Amino acid sequence: MSFLRGFKFAFRGIIYAVNHERNMRIHIVIAAYLLYFVSYYGLSPAEMSVLLAVIALVICLELINTAVERACDLYSEKYDRLIEIAKDVAAGAVLVAAMFAVGVAGFLLWRPDTIWSIILFHCSSPERFTLLVLTAVIAILFIIIGPKRMIENAGSWFSKRKKTKDND
pLDDT tens figures, 136-146? 999 999 999 99
Cβ atoms of 97 and 16 within 8 Å: the answer is no
Q: Which CATH number fits domain 3-112: 1.10.287.3610, 3.40.50.300, 3.50.50.60, 3.40.630.10?
A: 1.10.287.3610
Q: Which residue has the higher pLDDT, 79 or 123?
A: 123
pLDDT tens figures, 127-168? 999 999 999 999 999 999 999 888 888 777 667 666 656 565
Active-site pick, 21, 47, 62, 152:
62
Q: How far apart are CA 54 and CA 104, in angstroms?
A: 8
Quick one: pLDDT at residue 164? 59
Q: How far apart are CA 111 and CA 103, in angstroms?
A: 14
69 is an active site residue: no
Domain map of the chain by residue range?
A: 3-112, 125-168
Main-chain dihedrals φ then ψ at residue 124, nearest 5 degrees: -80, -15
Q: How far apart are CA 21 and CA 71, in angstroms?
A: 15
